[in-house]
Structures are given as structure tokens and as C-alpha cells.
Amino acid sequence: MRDAIRELLKYLTNQVINYIPSYTLRYAWYRAVLGWEIGPQVTILSGVRIQMAGLRGRGRRVVIGKGSVINYGCLLYVTGGLVIGEHVSLSPGVWLITGSHDINDPEHKDIYKPIVIGSYAFLGARATVLAGVTIGEGAVVMAGAVVTHDVPPYAIVGGVPARVVGERQLRNPSYSLAHFHPLFG
């Protein structure tokens, strides 16, 4: 019975709650049912897909810092834990994947590792970040990149797998993304 309730709540999260055109109701669900910590002025647009092994993170935290934006069509695989800093911008279609499998294990066991994204980082459309990766403060992940290793602060990475291709000149960002809050997002 417990498994059925857990699966029902996961279904409701992704097929009903994530499409309600009210930030207040969605965030109340994320906080109360999923156990997420969501900072002020965060924007999580409708239609975000949330992959989770269980409810309330099974001891793994999901934290989204002040003023961060999670755009349409993102996939948040949160089983391994997810920490997003302040004023982080996730463009449409970004995938954050905290789970994998041990390909050398005869039982193909699950492996979960957290993803940490520093404040003022920017992830371009359709970028993918894999389990255990830390994206440094102010780093930029170019559109379509697949990030398999940590990204230094203020680095610009691109490609598959992502490699450093440049460096961000802005060293002390102070902008706010809080203004991005569509009425029916």
C-alpha cells in the first residue's frame, strides 16, 4: 500500500501539480510533500519534470536559492540531492541527473550523487549535468553541453563532454533574476 501511495504522489507531482498555473500552490506542494527548501523570489515554471526515488528526498536535500529560475521543460532528477545557489538560471530543457548505474555490477545497482550549482551560474538550453558534478559560482554551461566533471568558478564550458572553452569576465555578479516571474508560468 505504501508503494502505491508513493507512486500516486509522484504521478500527481508530474502530471497535475507541475501544470497548475499557480506558483503558490506548486511551491506549497514542493515544500510540504517533497520536502524542498525554496528560497524567496524563486521561479519554477510549469511543466518541469521531477524524477525521484521516494518522497521527501530519502534524506537527500533539494535546496533552491533566492532568485533562481528553472525554466520550462527542465528535468530535475533529485534522488541524489540537488543544491542550486542564488540567482542561478536554468534555460529551457536543462537536465540535472543525480542518478546512474554501476555498469560493472552484475545487478546494475543504482548510484546516486548530488549536483551542486553555485550562485550566478547560467546553464544554456538543453544542457545536461550528470551525478556528482559541482558547477562553480558564476560558471556558464553552453547550450547542449554534457557536463561530466566539476566546472571551476567563472569558467565557460561547452561540448560533449563539456570542456572549458573560455572564462567569464564578470567576477562579482550582483544582478537579480527575481524579475522573471511570468503571470501563468
Which CATH number goes with the domain that contains 126? Answer: 2.160.10.10
Which residues are paired to 163 by β-bridges?
Answer: 158
Is residue 176 one of the residues assigned to a domain? no
Residue 113: inside a domain:
yes
pLDDT tens, 78-128? 999 999 999 999 999 999 999 999 999 999 998 999 999 999 999 999 999
Cβ contacts of residue 45 below 8 Å, gap of 6+? Answer: 69, 70, 71, 72, 182, 185
- Domain annotation covers residue 172: no
Helices (H) and strands (E) in the chain, counts: 2, 19
From 119, 113, 98, 130, select the one nearest 175 (Cα to Cα).
Answer: 119
pLDDT in tens, 135-149: 999 999 999 999 999
Count of the separate structural domains present in the chain: 1
Is 59 within a domain? Answer: yes
Considering the domain boundaries, does residue 46 fall inside one? yes
Q: Which helix (H) or strand (E) holds 15?
A: helix 2-15
Domain that holds residue 93: 2-167
Q: What is the pTM of this model?
A: 0.92
- Distance between alpha carbon 80 and the CA centroid of its chain, in Å? 11
Question: Mean pLDDT in the chain?
Answer: 92
Domain contains 180 = no
* Helix/strand/coil for 9: helix
Strand order of the β-sheet with 89-90 is 43-44, 69-70, 89-90, 122-123, 140-141, 155-158, 163-167
List active site positions. 101
Residue 182 domain-assigned? Answer: no
Inside any domain, residue 179: no
